[in-house]
Amino acid sequence: VRRIGVLTGGGDAPGLNAVIRAVVKSSYNYGIECLGLENSFDGLLETNRHTVLTPRNVTGILRVGGTILGTVNRGNPFLKPIDTSDGPKDYAERCMEMFHKLQIDGIVVIGGDGTLSIAHEFNKKGMPIIGVPKTIDNDIVGTTNCFGFDTAVAFATDAIDRLHTTAQAHQRVMVVEVMGRYAGWIALYSGVAGGADVIMVPEIPYDIDIVAQRIKERDSFGAKFSIVVVAEGAVPRGGKVSLVKAADGGYVERLGGVGHRVAAELEKLTGKETRTVVLGHLQRGGSPTSFDRMLATRFGAMAVELLVKGESDRMVAFHPPEIGSIPLADVGGKMRLVPADGDVVRTAKSLGISFGDE
Ligand code: F6P
């Protein structure tokens, strides 16, 4: 292996730069040249869309959010052709041509479910790839953790801490909407870590009357405020919901604006003053926690180690306490969901946290 590439695709997550840094430094120490490809697979469209990266280029980026390689791209290369001066060209074929022209021996692809599925398709065409799982939602299958999740949870937990004091001072219900389209990991972990009273996740459809009941109970024993953490993909039991396209091409139910809707309903049902805070993209920014820096660094180094060993079509994965890897083919189109009867949900319930289901 003499030359490798590295790229980032999909929504950003704290720790992307830490992975890039680890890939660059460890490949350098193997005597391998590392090309940073700009904006996901778009970095393979033209000759001027990459930079040779050395340890000097990645100095100081360990703690910085976002990605120095960018992530804005034209979408799935296997779905639409690109316009060139010679007319439309097959985007994926064009990437393959550039891959061969640049004499790259393998690519480290840092991305979520969508980007990793594309990576698997390129692998089938003969582009050796090692994937690195990225999403703050922590819903990629085959790995206990994705980097970015711990940072998002730390941020949301801090927000819940801050909201406790103002909720208590005003005797209000504070509804905190966190990210998590299909999986409620951020809501679950920040809700438990922040001492929430109610946690609503997509995996456990809620009954708003049960949530209201929990708030009234608290009120009657003197806790005049409540903290309700809602994942953006939370759905009411049997409720009327709109459908959105999921990563696997199927459809999932999603309402959008769930925090505000839940707050309005709770205010009506409990008679208590209610406010909503949507944490949104703040959860994707900022400096990665030490846990995410460690994970990202270990993922990056392991990705290079696998390419050096001649492996491809695999995704590095956290199987505590070790970093391992799984076939990329096992990743696409699936979601690692919160088990409704898992120990974290059971722990939360045993502490009296309601999920609005019973
Ligand atoms: O996949 C991560 C995620 O943070 C989701 O929870 C959220 O719905 C989505 O990204 C938002 O992405 P964007 O607004 O950047 O398209």
pLDDT tens, position by position, 182-211 = 899 999 999 999 999 999 999 999 999 999
pTM for the complete prediction? 0.94
Asked if 20 and 8 touch (Cβ cutoff 8 Å), the reply is: yes
- Nearest residue (CA) to ligand 1, atom 12: 11
Q: Could you give the dihedral angle defined by the CA atoms of residues 28, 33, 39 and 44, in that order, rounded to the nearest 10 degrees?
A: -160
**pLDDT value for 86:** 74
**pLDDT value for 239:** 63
135 is in an annotated binding site: yes
* Top mutation candidate among 12, 136, 179 for ligand 1, by most atoms within 8 Å of CB: 179
The β-bridge relationship of strands 87-89 and 274-278 is unpaired
The β-bridge relationship of strands 198-200 and 173-178 is unpaired
Ligand 1: centre distance to CA 86 (Å): 36
**pLDDT value for 85:** 75
Ligand 1: centre distance to CA 152 (Å): 12
The β-bridge relationship of strands 314-319 and 322-327 is antiparallel
71 C-beta closer than 6 A to ligand 1: no
**pLDDT value for 240:** 52
Ligand 1: centre distance to CA 179 (Å): 7
172 is in an annotated binding site: yes
**Active-site residue flag, 137:** yes
Ligand 1: centre distance to CA 151 (Å): 15
In single-letter form, the type of residue at position 336 comes to R
Ligand 1: centre distance to CA 258 (Å): 15
Two tokens at 169?
Answer: 């001072």
22 C-beta closer than 6 A to ligand 1: no
Ligand 1: centre distance to CA 110 (Å): 16
285 C-beta closer than 6 A to ligand 1: no
**pLDDT value for 257:** 85
Taking the CA of residue 179 as reference, the ligand 1 atom at the shortest distance is 6
Taking the CA of residue 12 as reference, the ligand 1 atom at the shortest distance is 15
Strand order of the β-sheet with 106-111 is: 50-53, 33-37, 3-8, 106-111, 129-133, 314-319, 322-327
- Residue 325's beta-bridge partner residues? 316
137 is in an annotated binding site: yes
Taking the CA of residue 233 as reference, the ligand 1 atom at the shortest distance is 8
324 is in an annotated binding site: no
* Top mutation candidate among 137, 149, 185, 245 for ligand 1, by most atoms within 8 Å of CB: 137
105 C-beta closer than 6 A to ligand 1: no
| ipTM > 0.85 (yes/no) | yes
Catalytic-labelled residue, pool 137, 150, 292, 313: 137
Would you give per-residue pLDDT tens digits along the chain (358 residues)?
Answer: 999 999 999 999 999 999 999 999 999 999 999 999 999 999 998 888 999 999 999 999 999 999 999 998 888 999 878 787 777 788 899 999 999 999 999 999 999 999 999 999 999 999 999 999 999 999 999 999 999 999 999 999 999 999 999 999 999 999 999 999 889 999 999 999 999 999 999 999 999 999 999 999 999 999 999 999 999 999 999 765 545 555 445 555 555 689 999 999 999 999 999 999 999 999 999 999 999 999 999 999 999 999 999 999 999 999 999 999 999 999 988 999 999 999 999 999 999 999 999 9
